Chain A
């Protein structure tokens, strides 16, 4: 029994780390600006598309350079995609933040509607540039294929993606908890006026956080592309679990998001194996179960309105 269960637990854990990776950027933006960025999924998709453009020799560059780029081993092209795609998506985040400024301090509904509109524009932009067909992000030989474990074949790439997610989560934790930037972000989330009074430019801080969150979304898109495939509406596949993980973990809680990501991954993985018709619904049922008893999520801070 345990031997049968083990592969599904390992799979759930891997999946959970990837869900947490998708949710991190979303959480940072929500934490500081109290804005739900519904365009997060589109930035995730842009990351995947840019990575595809970089990793496959289709760049809009002169033919000689293109040939030279095609001759570069796939491993290097993939590495370039991982590094460059988030950098290329960053300006989109800066632009969205610029557009959002007028909504700060107002009814959150304005920001919600604005980012929803931006998400639709970005998806249409993707359709215009890349069309509606699907693409596959090629991965280096060393990361593709499977290996035997517990008498089953496992995807090498999925384990690499999980390891990458662990490293990314650790890096984000270090930045938020151990750097001056992180301290400013946390302080800004707690009390904007005091932070401004201390001479910190809250506007620039917000732009910085938005760009950082955008790059994390794009990075998650690059990592998930070989698993999910690249298609125009892949952003929706990402933003829904990201939102769910944040609410489940408790808004603004770093470790809440990580734990919620793992829980969602476990539930989806196990239900896929043992009650397959419930596998997509299971994450919503988990959310309902948690918020029924703990409305602020697992690690959410107590609201002033609560008794």
Chain B
């Protein structure tokens, strides 16, 4: 009976379309280097959802160049050493044509080093140390998130003028924290402010009491944090428990959506982001609807900036392969360098472009604060401002970034 039913079903549906891929064409394989554990485990998995959605959409339309897109992922554990092993395996054993992923800048830098040896194109989806498109830039790497300097430029000058000149920095003790705080310091001083102290917070710190006691003793006008992932969650919780958010102005350089989902009560101060699922822009609602349909069991019910960056990086990479008409790395890199993306296409307020000198995506930078009148439980942000890409540019990056000449780029075509 069951066999008969299934036989009938194959004629009358429902059925899924099995696309006919180009005869004998080898699939294009993507290596998704996403954290599933460690400080950025949640963000890494949210990033993965965005990438998967873009891949599924391309495959539903027939893949790229008539070839199916396949993907593989492994936990990079928020650990540069693990990321190195994963990237080497993806390139050497799994024959991945391209790599995508990373939230932690140390992880992104480790993947870059491995990718550069073979010329493998790598989309750094979500790590945002200014050094990623500065001294650690690479011809093979493209950086999709706004970086620490972009966010500082959008926030600092205004805050020095309106809140106060006495600033304290709380800095996660690794490359993103250091480079972001250095950029904040330069901008604060340029605006006439003063850095009274910079407290370095080791990664995986769980108890912030000693830092908060120092904040209370120093009594700065503004505390600028460059703390990420699980660490910022713990810090936020402890600050709100003590009601310290009411006594000092807090600016968090960048707030990743997975770091605040589930703990909205600890959302305070002003923070930066590149995207929000309730931006009143064309296409946003449709994107959110597609994402929710694709991942109905996601622990986070709506896409945030991390998933958005994963989606955009993957989509633009695959589009670049189509424009290049080949997976040849040099051709794809050329198709990406200087590429312009319309505001409507990226669901942002202003047009964006991939800087050909640094490979950073220059895009709209948003400043936000907690929404006091949410329309639903996911409506956590109130967008305060949107800064044009040219006004948030990291001016120092082009001087620090030296891209490998194309002649020296190891060539491949998968």
A155 & B209 in contact (Cβ 8 Å cutoff)? yes
A196 contacts partner chain B, Cβ-Cβ < 8 Å = no
A144 contacts partner chain B, Cβ-Cβ < 8 Å = yes
A279 & B202 in contact (Cβ 8 Å cutoff)? yes
Partner of A153, one of B45, B173, B243, B262: B243
Q: How would residues 266 to 307 of chain A score, 1 for a CB under 8 Å from any chain B CB and 0 otherwise?
A: 001110110011011100000000000000000000000000
Q: B50-58, B210-218, B309-317, B362-370: which lies at the A interface?
A: B210-218
Alpha-carbon distance A270/B248, docked complex (angstroms): 23
Q: Which residues of B contact A132 (CB under 8 A)?
A: 36-37, 41-42, 45, 299
B205 contacts partner chain A, Cβ-Cβ < 8 Å = yes
Contact A136:B237 (CB < 8 A) given known A7-B213, A277-B200: yes
B230 & A280 in contact (Cβ 8 Å cutoff)? no
Alpha-carbon distance A233/B300, docked complex (angstroms): 19
Q: Which residues of B contact A277 (CB under 8 A)?
A: 173, 200, 202
We find that the number of chain B residues with CB closer than 8 angstroms to chain A is 38
Q: How would residues 130 to 153 of chain B score, 1 for a CB under 8 Å from any chain A CB and 0 otherwise?
A: 000000000000000000000000
Q: How would residues 264 to 281 of chain B score, 1 for a CB under 8 Å from any chain A CB and 0 otherwise?
A: 000000000000000000
Alpha-carbon distance A227/B213, docked complex (angstroms): 15
Contact A229:B206 (CB < 8 A) given known A4-B217, A132-B41, A153-B216: yes
B319 contacts partner chain A, Cβ-Cβ < 8 Å = no
B42 & A134 in contact (Cβ 8 Å cutoff)? yes
A155 & B238 in contact (Cβ 8 Å cutoff)? yes
A133 contacts partner chain B, Cβ-Cβ < 8 Å = yes
Q: Which residues of A contact B205 (CB under 8 A)?
A: 279-280
B204 & A276 in contact (Cβ 8 Å cutoff)? no
A131 contacts partner chain B, Cβ-Cβ < 8 Å = yes
Contact A155:B242 (CB < 8 A) given known A134-B42, A233-B37: yes
A158 & B209 in contact (Cβ 8 Å cutoff)? yes
Partner of B199, one of A152, A226, A276: A276
Contact A279:B36 (CB < 8 A) given known A145-B241, A155-B238, A229-B234: no
B242 & A272 in contact (Cβ 8 Å cutoff)? no
Assign chain A's interface to a size class: 35 or more
A15 contacts partner chain B, Cβ-Cβ < 8 Å = yes
Partner of B38, one of A12, A14, A233, A272: A233
A135 contacts partner chain B, Cβ-Cβ < 8 Å = yes
Q: How would residues 193 to 237 of chain B score, 1 for a CB under 8 Å from any chain A CB and 0 otherwise?
A: 000000111101111011101101100000000000010011001
A281 & B243 in contact (Cβ 8 Å cutoff)? no
B396 contacts partner chain A, Cβ-Cβ < 8 Å = no
Among residues of A, the one whose C-beta sits closest to the C-beta of B209 is: A11
A7 & B217 in contact (Cβ 8 Å cutoff)? yes
A157 contacts partner chain B, Cβ-Cβ < 8 Å = yes
B263 & A136 in contact (Cβ 8 Å cutoff)? yes
Q: Which residues of B contact A269 (CB under 8 A)?
A: 209-210
Alpha-carbon distance A232/B216, docked complex (angstroms): 32
Most buried by A among B206, B207, B238: B207
Q: Which residues of B contact A14 (CB under 8 A)?
A: 209
Partner of B262, one of A11, A135, A226: A135
Alpha-carbon distance A110/B202, docked complex (angstroms): 33
Alpha-carbon distance A227/B243, docked complex (angstroms): 15
Alpha-carbon distance A273/B218, docked complex (angstroms): 12
Alpha-carbon distance A49/B288, docked complex (angstroms): 31
B237 & A229 in contact (Cβ 8 Å cutoff)? yes
A237 & B204 in contact (Cβ 8 Å cutoff)? yes
Among residues of B, the one whose C-beta sits closest to the C-beta of A233 is: B37
A228 contacts partner chain B, Cβ-Cβ < 8 Å = yes
A77 contacts partner chain B, Cβ-Cβ < 8 Å = no
Q: How far is the CB of A101 from chain B (nearest CB, A)?
A: 31
Among residues of A, the one whose C-beta sits closest to the C-beta of B216 is: A152
Q: Which residues of B contact A233 (CB under 8 A)?
A: 37-38, 41
For window 226-269 of A, CB contacts with B under 8 Å fall at: 226-229, 231-233, 237, 268-269
A8 & B238 in contact (Cβ 8 Å cutoff)? no
A203 contacts partner chain B, Cβ-Cβ < 8 Å = no
Alpha-carbon distance A276/B42, docked complex (angstroms): 26
Q: Which residues of B contact A155 (CB under 8 A)?
A: 209, 238, 241-242
Alpha-carbon distance A148/B244, docked complex (angstroms): 12
Q: How would residues 143 to 169 of chain A score, 1 for a CB under 8 Å from any chain B CB and 0 otherwise?
A: 011100000111101100000000000
B211 & A276 in contact (Cβ 8 Å cutoff)? yes
Q: How far is the CB of A241 from chain B (nearest CB, A)?
A: 10
Interface of B toward A, CB cutoff 8 Å: 36-38, 41-42, 45, 173, 199-202, 204-207, 209-211, 213-214, 216-217, 230, 233-234, 237-238, 241-244, 247, 258, 261-263, 299-300
Extra contacts, 18 of them, besides A11-B209, A279-B205 (Cβ < 8 A), are: A8-B210, A11-B213, A14-B209, A132-B299, A133-B261, A134-B230, A136-B262, A146-B241, A153-B247, A155-B238, A158-B209, A227-B238, A228-B234, A229-B233, A237-B206, A268-B210, A273-B214, A277-B173
11 interchain pairs, CB-CB under 8 A: A8-B210, A11-B210, A15-B207, A133-B258, A155-B241, A155-B242, A228-B206, A229-B237, A233-B38, A270-B210, A276-B199
